[in-house]
């Protein structure tokens, strides 16, 4: 991730007259934009139809319903998932196959299962169920994934923000929060190509997080490796070895890892997985055993036949990259050609994942989103990357360029750049 810093001719240095003139010009540009009657959407990290087409082979698979052990996958059972799909996840995530559970179509559901089980039952090392504590707090690196935060809010878990740095969550801030407060029970991380900044948690930061002393004996790091293999460049970054680092530092139960094929095959019909220590895995399966008889093993087998092995997944991801890297380049082109030097925005140039993080002039993010909406360009609501949707600086906007076709990304981002500048000029003129 390379944050682009603007450098020359900042708007804030303009005279009142120049500012007024520029506001007139940009307002005219915005009126032209509105006149185009656009209907574009950069809100969600959804794969485009061309990306989904890459996996259409799944629609006529599997060719057999027997797994390699001879088990009839059409019937009940097999709570931990098929061995062959667990092997693929293990390889991709750099963990032992014994640590992996393959589930249904949603890793978000697995995260929710883990949190509700911790609340209702407690983990293997919990003094009592989390729900019986007076208060439970979670550390949230910001900006972060909105669904992580809304899940905590729904479950009554308090959120403590820490800054997301280009190398992962700020370990000093995290350490300060966990050291003495046993009500701080866990934290979220998207370790690789984080939503929305694209940051990659370094091995050093991961090691610190796994080793740090925590007042809570059952501190959990929910390691949502949603974009582990979702590279946008030739550098296919390896995720930090969370399970290995945790075990080595004497906290094997600290991390629980999640991943899925949602942005690999079909976003709605993929396979999700969880990886954890032996004790955590046994605990999870024990809970799951009261809620399910087994995952959709046919869909797991379908994926195994489609990919063959982990290298099949990696080759497939290069096809995704060929389709979406140009969209990310279009975002970068639009922002840098129109905003560089104005001193009103910084943004990320991610090397993987699904998002570009755009920070606009403080206090203008909501206005930018409103202006864009009026011009027919849907953006994620300002603040959504913060707990309770509250960005204290009102500056953060998450851009998701994968779903629209390339021409639409180009159009939309040209429009976004106009909105960013207009909102800044309004603010500076006020």
- Pick between residue 61 and residue 310 the one whose CB is nearest to a copy of itself: 61
What per-residue string of b and e applies to 385-420 under the rule 16 or more CB within 10 Å gives b? bbbeeebeebbbbbbbbbbbebebbbbbbbbbbbbb
- Pick between residue 5 and residue 75 the one whose CB is nearest to a copy of itself: 75
Q: Report yes or no: 98 and 278 within 8 Å, Cβ to Cβ.
A: yes
What is the nearest approach in angstroms of a copy of itself to the Cβ of residue 151? 5
In sequence order, which ranges of 94-163 are alpha helices (DSSP H)? 107-120, 146-154
What is the nearest approach in angstroms of a copy of itself to the Cβ of residue 114? 11
What is the nearest approach in angstroms of a copy of itself to the Cβ of residue 83? 15
Asked if omega into 196 is within 30° of 0 (cis), the reply is: yes
β-pair type (255-260, 220-224): parallel
What is the nearest approach in angstroms of a copy of itself to the Cβ of residue 110? 9
- Pick between residue 260 and residue 351 the one whose CB is nearest to a copy of itself: 260
Query: Which phi and psi angles does 32 have, rounded to 5°?
Result: -60, -45
- Kindly list the strands in the beta sheet with 356-360, ordered across the sheet, starting from the edge strand earlier in the chain: 345-347, 356-360, 396-399
- Pick between residue 183 and residue 366 the one whose CB is nearest to a copy of itself: 183
- Pick between residue 114 and residue 418 the one whose CB is nearest to a copy of itself: 114
What secondary structure letter does DSSP report for 8?
Answer: S
- Pick between residue 11 and residue 136 the one whose CB is nearest to a copy of itself: 136
What is the nearest approach in angstroms of a copy of itself to the Cβ of residue 32? 32
What is the nearest approach in angstroms of a copy of itself to the Cβ of residue 311? 24
What is the nearest approach in angstroms of a copy of itself to the Cβ of residue 5? 34
What secondary structure letter does DSSP report for 175?
Answer: H
- Pick between residue 32 and residue 72 the one whose CB is nearest to a copy of itself: 72
Give the closest residue to 188 by CA, choosing from 142, 152, 139. 139
Distance of CA 406 to the CA centre of its chain: 22
CA pair distance 245, 251, nearest whole angstrom: 9
Residue 96, C-beta contacts closer than 8 angstroms, at least 6 positions apart: 90, 243
- Pick between residue 9 and residue 293 the one whose CB is nearest to a copy of itself: 293
CA pair distance 398, 368, nearest whole angstrom: 12
Instruction: Please write down the HEC assignment for all residues of 194-250.
Output: CCCCCCCCCHHHHHHHHHCCCCCCCCEEEEECCCCCCECCCCCCCCCCHHHHHHHCC
- Pick between residue 34 and residue 121 the one whose CB is nearest to a copy of itself: 121
Looking at the DSSP bridge assignments, the partners of residue 345 are: 360
CA pair distance 220, 2, nearest whole angstrom: 30
- Pick between residue 56 and residue 180 the one whose CB is nearest to a copy of itself: 56
What is the nearest approach in angstroms of a copy of itself to the Cβ of residue 211? 31
What is the nearest approach in angstroms of a copy of itself to the Cβ of residue 76? 4
Report the interface residues with a copy of itself, using CB under 8 A: 44, 46-47, 49, 52, 55-56, 59-63, 65, 72-78, 104-106, 108-109, 112-113, 116, 119-121, 131, 147, 150-151, 154-156, 262, 266-269, 287, 290-299
What is the nearest approach in angstroms of a copy of itself to the Cβ of residue 205? 28
């Amino acid at each position: 991730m390379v944050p682009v810093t603007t450098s020359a001719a900042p708007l804030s240095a303009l005279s009142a007259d120049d500012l007024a003139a520029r506001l007139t010009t940009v307002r005219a540009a915005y009126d032209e934009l509105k006149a185009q009657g656009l209907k574009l959407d950069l809100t969600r990290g959804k794969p485009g139809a061309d990306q989904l087409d890459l996996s259409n082979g799944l629609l006529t698979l599997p060719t057999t319903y027997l797994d390699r052990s001879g088990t009839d996958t059409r019937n009940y059972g097999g709570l931990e998932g098929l061995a062959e799909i667990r092997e693929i996840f293990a390889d991709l995530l750099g963990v032992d196959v014994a640590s992996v559970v393959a589930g249904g179509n949603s890793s978000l559901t697995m995260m929710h299962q883990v949190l509700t089980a911790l609340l209702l039952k407690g983990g293997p090392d919990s003094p009592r169920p989390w729900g019986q504590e007076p208060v439970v707090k979670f550390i949230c690196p910001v900006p972060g994934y909105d669904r992580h935060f809304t899940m905590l809010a729904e479950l009554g878990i308090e959120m403590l923000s820490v800054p997301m740095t280009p190398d992962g969550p700020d370990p000093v801030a995290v350490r300060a929060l966990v050291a003495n407060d046993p009500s701080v029970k866990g934290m979220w991380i998207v370790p690789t190509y984080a939503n929305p900044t694209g940051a990659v948690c370094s091995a050093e930061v991961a090691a610190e997080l796994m080793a740090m002393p925590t007042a809570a004996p059952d501190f959990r790091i929910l390691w949502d490796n949603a974009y582990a293999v979702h590279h946008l460049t030739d550098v296919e970054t390896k995720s930090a070895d969370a399970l290995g680092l945790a075990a080595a530092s004497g906290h094997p139960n600290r991390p629980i890892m999640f991943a899925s094929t949602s942005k690999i095959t079909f976003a709605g019909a993929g396979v999700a997985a969880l990886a954890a220590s032996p004790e955590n895995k046994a605990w999870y399966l024990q809970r799951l055993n009261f809620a399910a008889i087994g995952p959709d093993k046919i869909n797991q087998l379908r994926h195994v036949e489609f990919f063959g092995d982990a290298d099949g997944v990696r080759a497939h991801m290069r096809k995704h990259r060929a389709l979406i890297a140009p969209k990310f380049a279009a975002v970068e082109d639009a922002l840098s050609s129109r905003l560089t030097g104005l001193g009103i925005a910084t943004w990320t140039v991610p090397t993987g994942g699904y998002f570009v993080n755009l920070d606009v002039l403080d206090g203008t993010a909501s206005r930018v989103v409103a202006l864009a909406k009026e011009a027919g360009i849907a953006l994620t609501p300002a603040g959504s990357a913060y707990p309770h949707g509250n960005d204290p600086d009102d500056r953060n906007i998450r851009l998701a360029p994968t779903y629209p076709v390339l021409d639409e990304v180009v159009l939309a981002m040209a429009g976004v750049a106009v909105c960013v500048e207009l909102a800044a000029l309004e603010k500076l003129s006020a």
